[in-house]
Amino acid sequence: MNSTMQKISIEKVKESKIDQVDFNNLAFGSVFTDHMLVCDYKNGAWETPKVVPYQPISLDPSAKIFHYGQSIFEGMKAYKDTDEKVWLFRPLDNHKRLNISAKRMSIPEIPEEFFMEGLKTLLEVEDKWIPQTEGSSMYIRPFMFASGNGFHASPANAYKFMICLAPSGAYFSGKVKVLIEEKYSRSANGGVGYAKTGGNYAGQFYPTQLAVEKGYNQVIWTDDHSHEYIEEAGAMNIFIRINDTLITGPTSDRILDGITRKSILQLAEKKGIATEVRKITVTEVVEAAKNGSLKEMFGAGTAAVVSPISAFGYRDVDYDLPELEDSYASQIKKDITDIQYNRSEDPFGWRVGL
């Protein structure tokens, strides 16, 4: 640790609650570890992070997070291999994206050292909480929000950066049936769609609820202007396989620069799978479904890595996708998770040991 940050203080709990946790039945993101990381921004500077017992946060009712939505987050994981060594997957990409989100939401950027040393210190304290059962991992939620007070519509003068940990079991989404959305939009040009800010997700809940009421699991988002171009799958990036080519839309103001998305593109290229990063129309996907050239669609994100889509609905017609034995989705998921759990070589330098 260099001299720009003092040593991180650690306040441990008097008694761990780890014995109360059934590690064989961990729901995603619902059980939390004994400790969390807290770092305050005051008087124009970030203070040294602290590891403290997991506990409620006390905020003034006028804290700007409640009124103007200055809130951002990241999603990442830690993995424990068979030798009980702990690994992170592309953590510097998460740090970089957090700061991209921070800049867009007028939140002070967090220094890399504060993020990485804070995360590693917290994970070392909570090492026993990192599950080792097949498919399980430690879900990591770094987040930042406006803690400064005032009803005036302007950026806050104080912020909190925190990291909380949730040991989670294998994430199986099952067969996902999606509805292509033509009325509501996730984001717009010049907006905040590329930032991981809470309001983006809050705005998705209502249209998704309407889709669920119609018998679908999730929504496929299209562009805000014409609703002709496919953009994201719920809270995930989307990949579409037509014949043997894997296609995904380009990142933009509207589309999140997903770390799993980037990894899939690099991995597919190394495997010799043809990829295209381009706009893809709903019409092209519907035509491919009709003529049999549409082979796969899947979401890509941290929680599930890949989430295969079994069918999609568009204008009152449902289109089923074929069930493939050796799908690109299954191949890619295995390759990525083998790297994450240190079961294979990592030719990309994605894996970072604690």
Q: What is the pLDDT of residue 227?
A: 96
Q: Are 9 and 48 in contact (CB under 8 A)?
A: yes
Cα 99 to chain centroid distance, Å, stands at 15
- State the pLDDT at residue 197: 97
Domains, in order of start, for the chain:
9-168 (3.30.470.10), 176-340 (3.20.10.10)
Location of structure tokens 């003068």: 157
| Cα distances (angstroms) measured from residue 147 to each of 47, 57, 58 | 14, 10, 10
Give the span between the Cα atoms of 237 and 240, in whole angstroms: 10
The residue assigned the tokens 């994430």 is: 171
Q: Would you state the pLDDT for residue 134?
A: 82
Residues 192, 301: Cα–Cα separation, whole Å: 19
pLDDT of amino acid 172: 67
Which residues, in sequence order, are CB contacts of 256 under 8 Å at separation 6+? 193, 194, 196, 232, 237
Q: What is the pLDDT of residue 54?
A: 98
3-state secondary structure of 234: coil
Question: Distance (Å, rounded) from C-alpha 144 to C-alpha 161?
Answer: 4
Per-residue confidence (pLDDT) for residue 106, from 0 to 100: 98
Mean pLDDT by runs of 10 across the 354 residues of the chain is 75 97 91 98 97 98 98 98 97 98 98 97 98 92 98 98 95 84 95 95 96 97 95 95 97 94 97 97 98 97 93 98 95 96 97 95
Q: What's the alpha-carbon Rg for the chain, to the nearest Å?
A: 21
pLDDT of res. 2: 45
DSSP 51: E
Q: Which residues contact 264 (CB under 8 A, 6 or more apart)?
A: 239, 246, 248, 300, 306, 332, 336
Q: Could you tell me if 35 and 54 are in contact, meaning their C-beta atoms sit under 8 angstroms apart?
A: yes
pLDDT at residue number 4: 66
E strand or H helix that includes residue 296: strand 294-301
**CA 89/CA 83 separation, integer angstroms:** 17
Tell me, what's the pLDDT at 173?
65
Choose among 227, 257, 289, 209: nearest CA to 74: 257
Amino acid at 205: F
Q: Do 253 and 194 form a contact (C-beta atoms < 8 A)?
A: yes
